[in-house]
Structure 1
Amino acid sequence: MNLLFNINDLKNLLVDYYNLTKMRIAIFDDGFHEIASYPDRLSTYCRIIRNDVAMHKKCTLCDYNAFIQCKQQKSLHIYACHAGLTEAIVPIFADQTIIGYIMLGQVLTTKDRHALWHEISESMKAHDVDLTALKIAFDNKRNVHQNVINSSAHMMKICASYLYSSHKLVLKKDSLPQKIDVFIGENLRNDLSVPLICNQFQIGKTKLYDIANQSYGMGIAKHITQIRLQRAKEYLMDTDLPIYEIADLVGIYDYNYFTKVFKKETGVTPKDFRKGNTLPV
């Protein structure tokens, strides 16, 4: 995806975040390629493990699977890597489009360091990993409470929103995924079929499906539904419009079906969502 950014602005944000959390933080594009980080280098612990070719591949696969999970759920993903470290990834959005990710972590959250080291060292014995050096690096690793990880990750979500809203990370205006998003948002009351969208942008179905999976992390039909539901949430919170009218405005003309889809995606009915997200007068 075509991103515009000032590397110095990104670096300054990452340095500030690191000074607060003492956790390595990095920004990636939507193809999972790192574009900025602080500190610049991976931790000593990670570098020792990645010196082995097989373990490097395992680390890369572990990261990739975590990115995919974050992309599919379109929300914060906290996980433990194969080498025992806790990390977190959050997507950066331009409207409904994922344009990048922020990752933090490379810390320990275990309550039993001895047991974890035994498990890790056993898994490394078959590989060309310097266990003596790795043990020293392991012992020097910070052990933080899970609550600290959770709080740091939620702060990271705020940073992700800030990156786009403050134009620190910008999606080029001629980006096709963004154009498709704008078209969908402006035509929610219409029948947004695949042929209609393909005809609008003069692209084939395969191209549209590829764009949806790569840029939105889901099929185009589900992405359209997500945009409709997001718009519905805004109407529910910001207006007093009847729910059946909101359903019409977002292009879901069957009230019962709208309620069913809304509850499936959010866990609550539109009525309960409005009650829980409307400030008292």
Structure 2
Amino acid sequence: RKCAYADKRSFNKCRESGRLYIYKCHAGLVEAVMPLYENEKNIGYLMLGQISDNKNNNTLIEKIPYWQEKYGFDTETLNTSIQSITYKSTEEIYAAAKIMEACTCYIAFKELIEPEESRVFKAAKAYIDKNLSADLDIDDICKELSLGRTKLYDIFKREANTGVSEYINRRR
């Protein structure tokens, strides 16, 4: 739960600033989060993490009794996990985070991620275009897309700033 809480808190800070956010989680590991945007709307995050900026794992090893008591982990599992944690200097972590930041810019520029609603809208448009000469019924579109009427209308309002029937009439 602490990990999920830390992730949620980092997403909030990242969304508020609109920028890369680097932080230490409750376990003492470094993580970075960068927002993904489409048309100035936050649609997700890229994360980099669970890296140690401390060459000496003793700080983490000292927490073993706490983790055993709190989460019931056994010593061997914890030691194995701690030994597998990658060490990177602060400079290396920052450089990797900046590369991640560049990747988010590339993703946005190339439009490599498309929100679900945009995919549904495109599928609806394709279905409408394919069936323009037929007697198009909203329920048929909903059935084709496995979508409720309200959701379909909401998507058209957001994506095309119009209703479904009005969109069909304009296409005709």
Superposition RMSD in Å: 2.4
Question: Can you give the 5+ residue segments of structure 1 that lack an aligned partner in the other structure?
Answer: 1-56, 180-199, 202-281
Q: Which amino acid aligns with 1:103?
A: M
Residues 183-211 of structure 1: CA deviation (Å, up to 9, x unaligned): xxxxxxxxxxxxxxxxx99xxxxxxxxxx
How has the CA–CA distance of structure 1 residues 132 and 175 changed in structure 2, closer, same or farther, with 3 Å as cutoff? Answer: farther
Q: Which runs of 4+ in 1 moved over 3 A?
A: 173-179
**Alpha-carbon offset, residue 97 of structure 1:** 1.9
The percentage of aligned residue pairs carrying the same residue is: 26
Q: TM-score, normalised by structure 2?
A: 0.63
Cα separation, 2, equivalents of 1:130 and 1:124: 9
Q: Which residue matches 1:154?
A: 98
Cα separation, 2, equivalents of 1:175 and 1:109: 48
Of the structure 1 ranges 150-159 and 57-66, higher mean CA displacement relative to structure 2 is found in 57-66
Q: Which residue matches 1:123?
A: 66
Greater relative contact order, per chain length (Cα 8 Å cut-off, separation 6+): 1
Q: Which residue matches 1:81?
A: 25
Q: Secondary structure at the match of 2:114?
A: strand
Residues 54-88 of structure 1: CA deviation (Å, up to 9, x unaligned): xxx12211211111111111110111111222110
Cα separation, 2, equivalents of 1:158 and 1:122: 40
Determine if the alignment matches structure 1 residue 163 to structure 2 residue 124: no
How has the CA–CA distance of structure 1 residues 61 and 170 changed in structure 2, closer, same or farther, with 3 Å as cutoff? Answer: same
Q: Which amino acid aligns with 1:141?
A: I
Larger Cα Rg: Structure 1 or Structure 2?
2
Q: Which residue matches 1:59?
A: 3
**1:110–1:116 CA contact under 8 A, matched in 2:** no
Q: Which amino acid aligns with 2:96?
A: S
Match of 2:47 among 73, 89, 103: 103
Question: Can you give the 5+ residue segments of structure 2 that lack an aligned partner in the other structure?
Answer: 122-154, 163-172
Q: Secondary structure at the match of 2:23?
A: strand
**1:85–1:106 CA contact under 8 A, matched in 2:** yes
Q: Which amino acid aligns with 1:90?
A: M
Q: Which residue matches 1:139?
A: 83
**2:53–2:89 CA contact under 8 A, matched in 1:** yes
Q: Secondary structure at the match of 1:170?
A: coil
